[in-house]
């Protein structure tokens, strides 16, 4: 729009007019100066003539080796000069008054005929009144003969610049060479000349000088003004009108006074402006009210001048005109998408692919944009772009613009996401609910308490550890806690927490392998801890809600429910390993335990049962070879061996502890073993070494931490643990608990 022909031509035209006026004023000024100068001279001459005094006149008749002889020398009175040709204005042929300009004696002769000279002071040559040359005189002025300057200098006492003192007079001899009719050259000693300096009467001169220039200037100005008023002002008004018409609506064509052709022009423009004004108003209405971003892209991908109001709101900026669309996109979409859109727009402009087909490929149909804000920061919006080929009105063949519409669909996307999240959350909660419903409430509460405690303990340990503490110990301790949570979750069938704990364990296992640990490596731990905490929180919310509906479970039911859980754990774990196993709890009697003990006890039994299935019980085929039934049998029994003294036995009929394999691994890990290490007590010690495991399947119990946790928990319960095993036949764990001591403590 800026490049409209109206603005362009009016600009050039205005410049030309200005130059013309300037030139006219300059010419006037120069003419005025010239006239002024002439007038000053004129006035001065006049003054000088009035002040002339003739001091004397001399003649020489012939030039004789430059020896001049004065042939006539006498004083003349002023009256005698009357009618003297030199004294009369513009009549003397020899020395015409008005032509004497030079103030330099050396140039006197030549300057007589020159009109060059700029002087503050003038000197006057006064000639002889008695001698005059007429046209028919035998002497005439010869232009061929050079003047005899030397003579002139003989008496050349005049200095230049002449210092003005009041009426200084100097004698000067001037020789004029002349020829007679026969070609003989004579030097005429011109009248002895009186040179006089006279001050000009400036104020008179100035007045004289400015009369004409003033008149010319005045006339000139009037003429220019008339010209401007009649021609340029209407034209300029019309040009201004064009300009205004782009900026505002309330312009009044009738305010322009024009006549003749300008009036015609004004009418035409008025029509044009009215039409364009109406179109513009409608366009603006559309642009202001359309609820989409709307703009044109030129083929170099710059954004056009006209955009809908919504465009600027959507992009959070007012600076869009002339901006490269790809540069704009670069700020808020990912680079891959940015490349894709540049390619897409190339295709849009190339016109080789059908537009509707191409629109299906639009990479910005719905895109998440992070728009920088002027005041800092950014806002995230979901924008939906559409691109249309805009065929030019002027040129049918070439595509000049692509029209872009953009819509802020953040709200729709947010609602859709929220809906999807809610659905997913509901789905998750439903699954979690189904998982939870299978679990006996007190068991769930126990698990939650355990897990929460473990999580808190991990955080407390992290927080309390200094950089120079043993970080490997910290990792091992955290591992034990996480492992225990995972085992518990697995037993209760809480897959989300089990999975999060497994990932946590994997991360810890990796850290445990490192020879050196850096505090920043523990960031992984906090991130996993966050994850587990989130699941626990979710679980807590549902458990809380459920607890309002579920009745409290009596103690005997708790025991039965626990035993049922153990049984399904054995069955499920075996199934996962393609084994068969069952748990016999017929000899189990309920043990009086505090809440904490019950949680510990559950944890211990879970781990031992899992170990029994994964390490002890063989695969069915293997069992048949050893003449055993294909299904393994695990027995969980308890009895009060003395008042307050309880013994719990977990015994499986599996392959027993493979000592050699355990020892091999211990050796591989650089653990030093003595002969004593080969008896069962030390076997327990060996089995309790952090990181030692012989199970191949890590998903079940092969994290190699089970035994040390079990041992530690038994000790924490105030009990002791023993292991008995006969390779190929059985493994038995015997836990002795001193309940009297434990409960009282």
Give min distance, CB of 530 to other proteins, in A. 5
Q: How far is CA 202 from the centre of its chain?
A: 70
Q: How many residues does the chain have?
A: 745
Q: For other proteins, which stretch binds (CB under 8 A), given 10-18, 432-440, 520-528, 703-711?
A: 520-528
Give min distance, CB of 725 to other proteins, in A. 38
- Cα→Cα distances 10→208, 239, 348, 463, 517, Å: 43, 6, 38, 79, 79
End-to-end CA distance of the chain: 92
The token pair at 541 is: 């919310």
Q: Which of 146, 229, 283, 380 binds other proteins (CB under 8 A)?
A: 380
- Cα→Cα distances 132→139, 140, 412, 725, Å: 10, 11, 118, 166
Give min distance, CB of 641 to other proteins, in A. 44
Q: Identify which of residues 34 and 527 has a Cβ nearer to other proteins in the complex.
A: 527
Q: How many residues bind other proteins (CB under 8 A)?
A: 30
Concatenate the DSSP letters of all residues of 69-100 into one string.
---EEE---GGGGTT-TTTSTTT-SSS-GGG-
Per-residue x/- marks for other proteins, 553-572, CB under 8 A?
--------------------
Q: Identify which of residues 459 and 568 has a Cβ nearer to other proteins in the complex.
A: 459
530 belongs to the binding site for other proteins (CB under 8 A): yes
Per-residue x/- marks for other proteins, 421-460, CB under 8 A?
--------------------------------------x-
377 belongs to the binding site for other proteins (CB under 8 A): yes
Inter-residue contact 57 to 76 (CB < 8 Å): yes
Residue 483 CA to residue 709 CA, distance in Å, equals 9
SS3 for 146-201, per residue? CCCHHHHHHCCCCCCCCCCCCCCEEEECCEEEEECCCCCEEEEECCCEEEEEECCC
Q: For other proteins, which stretch binds (CB under 8 A), given 111-119, 144-152, 332-340, 574-582?
A: 332-340
Residue 114 CA to residue 664 CA, distance in Å, equals 132
Concatenate the DSSP letters of all residues of 357-376 into one string.
HHHHT-TTSSEEEEEEPTTS
Q: For other proteins, which stretch binds (CB under 8 A), given 152-160, 285-293, 528-536, 657-665?
A: 528-536
Q: Which of 525, 542, 581, 609 binds other proteins (CB under 8 A)?
A: 525
Per-residue x/- marks for other proteins, 488-517, CB under 8 A?
---------------x--------------
Give min distance, CB of 475 to other proteins, in A. 11
Q: For other proteins, which stretch binds (CB under 8 A), given 234-242, 329-337, 343-351, 665-673?
A: 329-337
List the one residue out of 640, 637, 645, 636 whose CA is nearest residue 742. Answer: 645
Q: For other proteins, which stretch binds (CB under 8 A), given 28-36, 150-158, 328-336, 420-428?
A: 328-336
Give min distance, CB of 329 to other proteins, in A. 12
- Structural element, H or E, at residue 388: strand 378-391
Give min distance, CB of 591 to other proteins, in A. 35
Q: Which of 376, 551, 554, 643 binds other proteins (CB under 8 A)?
A: 376
Q: For other proteins, which stretch binds (CB under 8 A), given 151-159, 241-249, 382-390, 463-471?
A: 463-471
529 belongs to the binding site for other proteins (CB under 8 A): yes
Residue 140 CA to residue 146 CA, distance in Å, equals 14
Q: Which of 248, 467, 552, 745 binds other proteins (CB under 8 A)?
A: 467
Q: Is 628 helix (H, G, I), strand (E, B) or coil?
A: coil
Q: Identify which of residues 146 and 518 has a Cβ nearer to other proteins in the complex.
A: 518
Q: Identify which of residues 160 and 527 has a Cβ nearer to other proteins in the complex.
A: 527
Give min distance, CB of 528 to other proteins, in A. 9
Q: Identify which of residues 471 and 737 has a Cβ nearer to other proteins in the complex.
A: 471
Residue 190 CA to residue 94 CA, distance in Å, equals 9
Give min distance, CB of 370 to other proteins, in A. 4
Per-residue x/- marks for other proteins, 88-117, CB under 8 A?
------------------------------
SS3 for 680-730, per residue? HHHHHHHHCCCCCCCCCCCCCCCCCCHHHHHHHHHHHCCEEEEEEEECCCE
Inter-residue contact 359 to 387 (CB < 8 Å): yes
Cα atoms in the Cβ-side hemisphere of radius 13 Å centred on 465: 21
User: Running DSSP on this structure, what letter comes out for residue 619?
Assistant: P
482 belongs to the binding site for other proteins (CB under 8 A): no
Q: Identify which of residues 103 and 369 has a Cβ nearer to other proteins in the complex.
A: 369
Q: Which of 11, 169, 322, 519 binds other proteins (CB under 8 A)?
A: 519
Strands 632-642 and 581-584: parallel
Concatenate the DSSP letters of all residues of 509-540 into one string.
HHHHH-SS--GGGGHHHHHHHHHHHHHHHHHH
Dihedral sign, CA of 229, 232, 234, 237? Answer: negative
Give exposure, 474-510, as e/b (b: 16+ Cβ within 10 Å): bbbbbbbbbbbbbbbbbbbbbebbbebbbbbbebbbe
Q: For other proteins, which stretch binds (CB under 8 A), given 253-261, 275-283, 464-472, 676-684?
A: 464-472
Residue numbers 352-371 binding other proteins by CB under 8 A: 370
Tell me the backbone φ, ψ of residue 147, rounded to 5 degrees.
Answer: -75, 155
Give min distance, CB of 413 to other proteins, in A. 14
CA angle 438, 700, 537 (to 5 degrees): 50
Q: Identify which of residues 278 and 518 has a Cβ nearer to other proteins in the complex.
A: 518
Q: Which of 3, 115, 520, 548 binds other proteins (CB under 8 A)?
A: 520
Give min distance, CB of 542 to other proteins, in A. 19
Question: How many Cβ atoms are within 10 Å of 239's Cβ, its own excluded?
Answer: 19
The token pair at 170 is: 């100097």
Rg (CA), the chain: 61
Q: Identify which of residues 153 and 378 has a Cβ nearer to other proteins in the complex.
A: 378
Q: Which of 3, 115, 135, 336 binds other proteins (CB under 8 A)?
A: 336
Q: Identify which of residues 137 and 411 has a Cβ nearer to other proteins in the complex.
A: 411
Q: Is 347 helix (H, G, I), strand (E, B) or coil?
A: helix
Concatenate the DSSP letters of all residues of 224-273 into one string.
HHHHIIIIIHHHHHHHHHHHHHHH-S---GGG----HHHHHHHHHHHHHH
Q: Is 496 helix (H, G, I), strand (E, B) or coil?
A: helix
Residue numbers 206-235 binding other proteins by CB under 8 A: none
533 belongs to the binding site for other proteins (CB under 8 A): yes
Q: For other proteins, which stretch binds (CB under 8 A), given 151-159, 359-367, 465-473, 729-737?
A: 465-473
Give min distance, CB of 366 to other proteins, in A. 16
Q: Identify which of residues 281 and 537 has a Cβ nearer to other proteins in the complex.
A: 537
Q: For other proteins, which stretch binds (CB under 8 A), given 466-474, 562-570, 655-663, 723-731?
A: 466-474
Give min distance, CB of 414 to other proteins, in A. 13
Binding site for other proteins (CB under 8 A): 334-336, 370, 376-378, 380, 459, 462-463, 465-467, 471, 474, 503, 518-520, 522-527, 529-530, 533-534
């Amino acid at each position: 729009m800026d490049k409209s022909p109206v603005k362009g031509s009016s600009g050039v035209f205005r410049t030309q007019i200005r130059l013309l006026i300037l030139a006219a004023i300059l010419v006037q000024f120069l003419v005025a100066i010239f006239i002024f100068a002439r007038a000053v001279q004129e006035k001065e001459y006049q003054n000088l003539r009035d002040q002339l005094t003739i001091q004397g006149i001399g003649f020489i008749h012939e030039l004789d080796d430059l020896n001049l002889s004065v042939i006539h020398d006498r004083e003349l009175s002023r009256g005698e000069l009357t009618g003297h040709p030199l004294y009369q204005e513009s009549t003397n042929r020899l020395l015409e008054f008005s032509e004497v300009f030079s103030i330099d004696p050396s140039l006197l002769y030549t300057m007589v005929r020159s009109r060059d000279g700029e002087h503050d002071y003038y000197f006057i040559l006064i000639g002889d009144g008695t001698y005059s040359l007429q046209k028919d005189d035998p002497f005439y002025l010869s232009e061929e003969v050079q003047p005899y300057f030397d003579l002139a200098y003989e008496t050349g006492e005049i200095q230049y610049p002449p210092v003005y003192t009041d009426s200084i007079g100097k004698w000067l001899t001037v020789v004029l060479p002349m020829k007679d009719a026969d070609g003989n050259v004579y030097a005429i000693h011109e009248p002895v000349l009186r040179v006089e300096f006279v001050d000009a009467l400036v104020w008179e001169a100035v007045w004289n000088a400015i009369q004409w220039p003033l008149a010319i200037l005045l006339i000139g100005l009037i003429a220019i003004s008339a010209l401007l008023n009649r021609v340029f002002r209407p034209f300029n008004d019309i040009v201004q009108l064009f300009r205004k018409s782009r900026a505002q609506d309330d312009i009044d064509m009738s305010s322009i006074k024009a006549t003749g052709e300008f009036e015609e022009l004004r009418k035409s423009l008025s029509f044009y402006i009215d039409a364009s004004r109406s179109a513009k108003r409608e366009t603006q209405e559309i642009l202001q009210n359309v609820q989409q971003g709307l703009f044109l892209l030129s083929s170099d991908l710059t954004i056009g001048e006209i955009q809908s109001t919504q465009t600027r709101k959507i992009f959070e900026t007012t600076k869009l005109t002339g901006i490269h669309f790809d540069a704009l996109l670069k700020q808020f979409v990912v680079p891959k998408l940015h490349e894709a859109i540049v390619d897409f727009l190339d295709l849009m402009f190339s016109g080789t692919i059908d537009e509707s087909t191409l629109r299906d490929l639009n990479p910005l149909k719905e895109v998440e944009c992070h728009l920088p804000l002027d005041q800092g920061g950014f806002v995230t919006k979901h924008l939906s772009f559409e691109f249309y080929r805009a065929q030019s009105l002027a040129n049918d063949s070439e595509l000049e613009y692509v029209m872009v519409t953009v819509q802020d669909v953040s709200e729709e996307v947010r609602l859709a996401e929220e809906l999807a999240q809610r659905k997913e959350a509901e789905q998750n909660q439903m699954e979690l609910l189904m998982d939870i419903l299978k679990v006996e409430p007190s068991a769930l509460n126990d698990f939650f308490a355990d897990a929460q405690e473990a999580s808190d303990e991990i955080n407390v340990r992290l927080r309390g550890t200094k950089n120079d503490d043993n970080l490997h110990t910290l990792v091992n301790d955290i591992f034990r806690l996480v492992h225990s949570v995972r085992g518990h979750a697995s037993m209760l069938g809480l897959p989300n927490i089990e999975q999060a704990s497994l990932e946590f364990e994997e991360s810890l296992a990796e850290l445990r392998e490192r020879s050196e640990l850096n505090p920043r490596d523990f960031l992984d731990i906090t991130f996993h801890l966050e994850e587990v905490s989130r699941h626990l929180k979710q679980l807590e919310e549902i458990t809380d809600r459920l607890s309002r509906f579920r009745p409290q479970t009596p103690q005997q039911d708790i025991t039965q429910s626990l035993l049922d859980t153990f049984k399904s754990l054995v069955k499920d774990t075996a199934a996962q390993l393609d084994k068969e196993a069952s748990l016999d709890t017929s000899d189990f009697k309920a043990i009086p335990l505090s809440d904490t003990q019950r949680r510990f006890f559950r944890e211990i039994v879970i781990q031992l049962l899992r170990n029994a299935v994964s390490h002890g019980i063989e695969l069915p085929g293997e069992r048949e070879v050893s003449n055993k039934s294909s299904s393994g049998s695990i027995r969980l029994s308890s009895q009060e061996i003395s008042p307050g003294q309880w013994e719990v036995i977990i015994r499986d009929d599996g392959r027993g502890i493979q000592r050699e394999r355990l020892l091999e691994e211990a050796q591989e890990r650089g653990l030093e073993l003595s002969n004593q290490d080969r008896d069962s007590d030390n076997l327990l010690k060996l089995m309790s070494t952090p990181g030692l495991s012989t199970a191949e399947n890590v998903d079940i119990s092969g994290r190699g931490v089970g035994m040390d946790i079990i041992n530690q928990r038994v000790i924490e319960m105030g009990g002791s643990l023993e292991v008995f095993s006969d390779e190929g036949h059985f493994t038995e764990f015997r836990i002795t608990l001193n309940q009297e001591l434990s409960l009282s403590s």
